[in-house]
Amino acid sequence: MAATLARIPLAKPLLAIKGMSILSVAGILGEAGDLSGYSHGNALLRHAGLNLAEASSGKNDVTFKRQHEMNVKTKSIKPMRSVMKLCGKLARLLVAMAQSGEAYEPDRVLAMKQAA
């Protein structure tokens, strides 16, 4: 599987995202195909059958975890709603990376507002 992913240009930047394993990247690309063909992250969610408000647990990447904590504690968003919002953010991130060819930059992608 790793050898096959090595031949896919988008796989390397996706694998650079903390928490994205070879198996998860292979699963996403195998099911969704060329992510640059999606008009938006929401289109990827619909393709996955997740026509939801949005969704990611924040258990892998520290920036997603901090965003989840901020959503729940500071913004008083219910935990599951926060998870759904972060899944949508991740889907949009993956499609944007595929379309732009840019690497994952957590500070740029998930700009954190300071709690007042």
Name the pTM for this structure. 0.62
Residue 101, phi-psi category: left (phi > 0), alpha (psi -120 to 50), beta (remainder) = left
Q: Which helix (H) or strand (E) holds 71?
A: helix 62-73
Structural domains in the chain (count): 1
| Domain that includes residue 84, residue range | 2-105
Flag whether pLDDT at 41 surpasses 70: yes
Give the position of tokens 């903390």: 18
**Considering the domain boundaries, does residue 114 fall inside one?**
no
Phi–psi pair at 66, nearest 5 degrees: -65, -40
Flag whether pLDDT at 112 surpasses 60: no
Q: Over the Cα atoms of the chain, what is R_g?
A: 14
pLDDT per position as a tens digit, 71-92: 999 999 998 889 888 888 888 8
> How far is residue 71's CA from residue 3's CA, in Å, rounded to a whole number?
39
**Considering the domain boundaries, does residue 116 fall inside one?**
no
**Considering the domain boundaries, does residue 93 fall inside one?**
yes
Q: Which two tokens stand for residue 65?
A: 């975890």
